[in-house]
């Protein structure tokens, strides 16, 4: 038998033995909970929505889940939510696949760079996965990814999304246009020190979408009204002008009478001014061309 095949069989035997040993160390409550998980076919077991085995209290379930996690049969995502591991051992899980199972049964939408990757509008694979929800929720680290949860109202969370098949299940992802306007709505340097600015990601998304004719029927005005703010409208209007994408005129009603705003919160508010959109163009990733910008006096 070839050495590589023997090694692979040995590793599989070790994994199977380890799982068998783990299963043998847990008690009847844990076995009962595992059977309930198998019947439900849930990939993420959530205490908030799961049906417990008959006669098992919630406190008993919490203790059993803790022992199952120590045995390597489930993996804790957050308090009350566990990834159910296959009996054959731990397997990789795509972040958006995890989100689909994790938030099943409540309104949510993957936004930001993860949405751009799903729609093939960026070549990046983000380590930050943003999930828009209608309740306050703190950031969570899991398997090398940071999951953050921008708060949206019920309408914003529920509309302008698409359901995509990914991994073993499905996930709700913001439409390309919704993802763009939400990225442009941020007012703080939330990704300072990160791999790239939101502006550079949006420029990439708009350029790739233009090549695929994604924006020809996009209702930018409606998307801004539902998911963003006047500053996002200014930023979007400038980028549409610079990239030659139709629709910027519909955003002029959002411009308001305020003074100039910095395009990016990452840099000092110094640079040329786009007088049409009252924007200080202070982000070096912004495209040049299109309408001319005046300089600061």
The domains of the chain are located at: 3-84, 92-174, 176-297
> What does the pLDDT read at residue 289?
56
Of 13-22, 158-167, 219-228, 283-292, minimum mean pLDDT range:
13-22
> What does the pLDDT read at residue 172?
98
Main-chain phi, psi angles of 131, to 5 degrees: -125, 110
- Tens-place pLDDT, residues 42-92: 899 998 888 888 889 999 999 999 999 999 899 999 999 999 988 766 778
Q: Helix, strand, coil shares of the chain as percentages rounded to 5?
A: 40, 15, 45
- Tens-place pLDDT, residues 176-200: 999 999 999 986 655 443 445 788 9
In 48-190, DSSP assigns E strands to 74-78, 81-84, 108-111, 128-133, 140-142, 145-148, 161-166, 169-174
Helix (H, G, I), strand (E, B) or coil at 92: coil
Compare 6 and 213 and report the one with higher pLDDT: 213
> What does the pLDDT read at residue 98?
96
What element of type H or E holds 21?
Answer: helix 3-24
Cβ proximity of 182 and 228 under 8 Å = yes
Predicted confidence (pLDDT) at residue 112 exceeds the cutoff of 50: yes
pTM beyond 0.75: the answer is yes
- Which whole number is the average pLDDT over 122-148? 95
Predicted confidence (pLDDT) at residue 157 exceeds the cutoff of 60: yes
Round to whole Å and give the CA distance between 131 and 129: 7
Cβ proximity of 269 and 280 under 8 Å = yes
């Amino acid at each position: 038998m070839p050495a590589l095949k023997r090694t692979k069989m040995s590793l599989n035997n070790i994994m199977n033995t380890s799982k068998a040993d783990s299963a043998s160390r847990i008690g009847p409550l844990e076995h009962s909970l595992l059977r309930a998980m198998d019947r439900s076919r849930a990939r993420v077991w959530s205490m908030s929505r799961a049906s417990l085995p008959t006669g098992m209290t919630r406190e008993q379930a919490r203790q059993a889940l803790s022992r199952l996690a120590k045995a390597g049969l489930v993996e804790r995502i957050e308090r009350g939510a566990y990834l159910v591991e296959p009996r054959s051992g731990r397997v990789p899980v795509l972040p958006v696949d995890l989100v689909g199972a994790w938030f099943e049964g409540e309104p949510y939408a993957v936004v930001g760079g993860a949405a751009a990757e799903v729609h093939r509008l960026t070549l990046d694979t983000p380590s930050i996965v943003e999930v828009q929800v209608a309740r306050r929720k703190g950031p969570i680290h899991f398997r090398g990814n940071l999951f953050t949860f921008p708060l949206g109202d019920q309408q914003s969370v529920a509309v302008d999304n698409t359901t995509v098949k990914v991994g073993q299940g499905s996930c709700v992802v913001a439409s390309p246009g919704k993802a763009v306007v939400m990225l442009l709505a941020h007012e703080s340097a939330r990704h300072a020190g990160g791999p790239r600015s939101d502006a550079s990601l949006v420029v990439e998304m708009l350029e790739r979408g233009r090549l695929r004719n994604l924006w020809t029927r996009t209702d930018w005005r409606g998307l801004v009204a539902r998911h963003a703010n006047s500053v996002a409208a200014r930023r979007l209007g400038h980028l549409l002008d610079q990239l030659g994408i139709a629709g910027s005129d519909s955003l002029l009603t959002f411009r308001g009478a305020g003074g100039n705003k910095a395009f990016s919160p990452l840099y000092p508010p110094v640079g040329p001014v786009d007088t049409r959109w009252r924007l200080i163009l202070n982000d070096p990733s912004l495209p040049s061309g299109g309408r001319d910008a005046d300089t600061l006096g």
